[in-house]
Amino acid sequence: MKTIVSASLLSADFAELGREVRRAENAAADWIHFDVMDGMFVPSISFGEPVLKSVSQLTSLPLDVHLMICDPIRYVSRYAKLGASYITFHLEAADSPAQVISAIHDCGAKAGISIKPSTDAREVFEYLDIVDMILVMTVEPGFGGQSFMDGMLRKIRIIREECDRRGLDMLIETDGGINEKTASLVRENGCNVLVSGSYLFGAEDMKSAVDSLR
């Protein structure tokens, strides 16, 4: 199973955003992870459409948009138009997750569903046949630089086993506290897309840091 590394811009130096995106590209990151926070679903406010517009002009890497916002369907078409390849929303934030998934697909993007640490893995089962990616949060969403929660490994495994049982070649992404140590744990349990922010952007040699996650 090929491992995809998605570099989370939340930990980049925003005064040097162009340079930081180029750094991730040169380090052979596969995707750029873009965390949108609304101050409601999570306590923080991060960045949104104008910043994504600039980033999409800077890179041809797939843009992996993680919506940590209430009622995400409102923003799906805007982020798709700005070039998001993947749009992931939180199961906990949507009244009708199936409708959000079809709205994302109607815009030509791939759809992901994310679950917070307190949400049971089985909650995503009813969407496995219609979604492209499951994002298992391995920290409470809202901030970079937190410690990985070991208890989430079991959730990754439960979802991977169910996908295998159904013959689904699913992307399972993890986000939060991913570094060279935790990367092998999540991979062993069936994760194939690793988001990493502070570990990658804080590295002196980002290329070796990316390599250490694969």
Residues known to be catalytic? 35, 175
Q: Which of 176, 182, 189, 190 binds ligand DX5 (CB under 6 A)?
A: 176
Q: Which of 48, 97, 112, 177 binds ligand DX5 (CB under 6 A)?
A: 177
Instruction: Pick out residues in 148-187 that bind Zn ion (CB under 5 A).
Output: 175
Cβ burial, residue 128 (10 Å; 0-12/13-18/19+): middle
Q: Is 174 helix (H, G, I), strand (E, B) or coil?
A: strand
Interacting partner of 177 out of Zn ion, ligand DX5, none (Cβ under 5 to 8 A depending on kind): ligand DX5
Could you tell me the CA-to-CA distances from 34 to 40, 122, 207 in Å, in that order? 18, 26, 20
Interacting partner of 176 out of ligand DX5, Zn ion, none (Cβ under 5 to 8 A depending on kind): ligand DX5
Could you tell me the CA-to-CA distances from 209 to 19, 110, 134, 200, 202 in Å, in that order? 17, 27, 24, 6, 9
The candidate with the shortest Cα–Cα distance to 18, out of 55, 49, 43, is: 55
Instruction: Pick out residues in 184-213 that bind ligand DX5 (CB under 6 A).
Output: 195-199
Q: Is 66 helix (H, G, I), strand (E, B) or coil?
A: strand
Instruction: Pick out residues in 129-148 that bind ligand DX5 (CB under 6 A).
Output: 139, 141-146
**CA–CA separation, 144 and 196 (whole Å):** 9
Interacting partner of 97 out of Zn ion, ligand DX5, none (Cβ under 5 to 8 A depending on kind): none
Q: Which of 66, 110, 116, 160 binds Zn ion (CB under 5 A)?
A: 66
Encoded one letter per residue, x for contact with Zn ion by CB under 5 A and - for no contact, window 9-48 reads --------------------------x-------------
Angle subtended by helix axes 180-188 and 206-213, to nearest 10: 20
Cβ atoms within 10 Å, residue 146 = 15
Least distance between ligand DX5 and beta carbon 106 (Å): 25
Is 113 among the residues that bind ligand DX5 (CB under 6 A)? no
Least distance between ligand DX5 and beta carbon 59 (Å): 17
Q: Which of 4, 5, 7, 10 binds ligand DX5 (CB under 6 A)?
A: 10
184 and 5 Cβ atoms separated by less than 8 Å: no
The residues that touch ligand DX5, with contacts defined as CB under 6 A, are: 8, 10-11, 33, 35, 66, 139, 141-146, 175-178, 195-199
